[in-house]
Amino acid sequence: MDDLRLKYIKAISDARDENALEGVRLAALGKKGEVSLQMRELGKMTPEERKVAGPTLNALKDELNSALNAKKTALADAVLNARLETEWLDVTLPSRATNIGSVHPISQVTEEVIAIFADMGFSVAEGPRIETDWYNFDALNIPGHHPARAEMDTFYMKRNSDDERPPHVLRTHTSPVQIRTMEKSGAPIRVICPGGVYRADYDQTHTPMFHQVEGLAIDKDLSMANLKWVLEQFVKIFFSVDDVELRFRASHFPFTEPSAEVDIRCSWNDGQLKIGEGNDWLEILGSGMVHPKVLSAGGIDPNIWQGFAFGMGIDRIAMLKYGIPDLRSFFDSDLRWLRHYGFASLDQPNLHAGLSR
């Protein structure tokens, strides 16, 4: 019996491939295999003899079966390993190309602004880029002779000589949307109005089109102090700083009274801007309490309602936040610029993820 065991264990171990191994299995455990034949002999034995031979034979059968299985796995592994050794790729080759798109900084920053003001209850209004001179000027307390009209470098639409109406203008600011919103929804109001505006000016720091966001809040008891708080909140979240100091400086806009220019404390070192520290002041926006005449023009009773308005340049705050040097480059559609300063498609601004990228 021991001879039999030794013979087949050796044969299994010596098998070179699956065929040889199958031959060994048949010789030992096949229908006519040596072990099988011996098992068959068990029937002829006396019970006493069988008690001895039976377990021994069964144990031998089990041992050979596991040896066969182990050898089978080993042979298969060897074959696989041999194949894998031939399978080699130069994985330093470039990946399959895909095109990666981008979102323009103006769009990204507009969405950032919306995210912040939405949290303070401001909705978003838009208005036409070609405006009547009433919405762009008169309703905002800028009558025809007002020097501000000449100072604004307004673009005018051509009028046929037989057309007596005053020419429409390309809106010089987003403020006409204030009036349109007042007319449409009445007070109270909390709204921001982002969008493109136009002035006939083109040099290093001016482009004939740029972008503004207007803010308007009307209620019964709003004050300039509320305005200051709102702007402080905005600047903190927008520039992702814990603390910031705003400086209100008296100024004049025809559509607000009192009016203030707003500066933020900052430092400039080697062209690097840091908001919230340092000894410089950076002018970022104009603001004030809505002029009673403007409220009246929008159909809102200035004896009952009061509120604030502000306007700032979206391109400008984008330049400040993301260190973009040249305003003109915003509108040049240079692929290198779009890829460098653009934003990933899935990078949609929201407050819970923060607004720093």
Partner 1 sequence: MKFTFSWLKEHLKTTASLNEVVDALTDLGLEVEEVSDPIRKLNDFTIGKIIKAKKHEDADKLRVCKVDTDNGETQIICGAPNAREGIFVVVAKPGVYVPGIDKTIGVGKIRGVESHGMMCSEKEMELSDEHDGIIELPSGEIGEPYGNWLLKNDPEKVDAVVEIAITPNRPDALGVRGIARDLAARGLGDLKPMDIQPIPGKFKCPISVSIEPDTLINAPVFYGRLIRGVKNGLSPKWLQNKLRAIGLRPISTLVDITNFFTYDNNRPLHVFDADKLNGSSLRVHDAKGGEIFNALDEKEYVLSKGMTVISDNVGVESLAGIMGGSGSGCTDKTENVFIEAAYFNPITTAYTGRELKINSDARYRFERGIDPEWAVFGIEAATKMIIELCGGEPSEVVQAGEIPNHGRAYKVDTARIESLVGMVIPPDDQLKILEKLGFVITGDTAGVPSWRPDVQGEADLVEEIARVVSLKKLQGIPLPRVSNSVPKPVLSAAQLREQTSRRAAAGLGYNECVSYSFIDEESAKLFGGGDTVTQLENPISSEMSHMRPDLLPGLLQAASRNQARGFFDMALFEIGPVFNGGNPENQTTKLSGVLIGQTTSKDVHRQNREVDVFDVKSHIENVLFSIGAPSKFQILRGAESYWHPGRHGRICLGPKKTLGVFGEIHPKVLSSFDLKGPIVGFTIFLDNIPIPRNSNTTRPPLRARSLQAVERDFAFVVGEKVEASSITTAAMGSKKDIIEDVRVFDEFIGGDLGDGNKSVAITVRLQPTENTLTEAEIEQVSKSVIDRVESATGGILRS
Output the smallest distance, CB 282 to partner 1, in A.
14
195: left (phi over 0), alpha (psi -120 to 50) or beta: left
- The C-alpha atoms of residue 332 and residue 342 are separated, in whole angstroms, by 13
Please give the radius of gyration of the chain, using alpha carbons only, rounded to the nearest integer. 42
Q: Could you tell me the sign of the dihedral formed by the alpha carbons of 297, 301, 303, 309, in that order?
A: negative
The secondary element (H helix, E strand) that includes residue 309 is strand 306-313
3-state secondary structure 183-232: HHHCCCEEEEEEEEEECCCCECCECCEEEEEEEEEEECCCCHHHHHHHHH
- Minimum gap (Å) between residue 278 Cβ and partner 1: 17
Cβ(309)–Cβ(182) under 8 Å? no
Q: How far is the CB of 210 from partner 1 (least distance, A)?
A: 10
Q: How far is the CB of 196 from partner 1 (least distance, A)?
A: 7
Query: CA–CA distance from 183 to each of 171, 178, 187, 294 (Å)?
Result: 18, 9, 9, 11
CB of 63 to partner 1, least distance (A): 47
> How far apart, in whole angstroms, are the C-alpha atoms of residue 74 and residue 213?
72
Q: How far is the CB of 165 from partner 1 (least distance, A)?
A: 10
Q: How far is the CB of 240 from partner 1 (least distance, A)?
A: 19
> Residue 151 and residue 82: Cα distance in Å, rounded?
82
CB of 87 to partner 1, least distance (A): 18
- Residue whose CB is less far from partner 1, 84 or 250: 250
Token pair, residue 259, equals 């009016």
Rounded Cα distance between 114 and 350, Å, is: 9
Q: Are 172 and 151 in contact (CB under 8 A)?
A: no
Alpha-carbon distance of 29 to 34, in angstroms, equals 7
CA angle 282, 249, 215 (to 5 degrees): 80
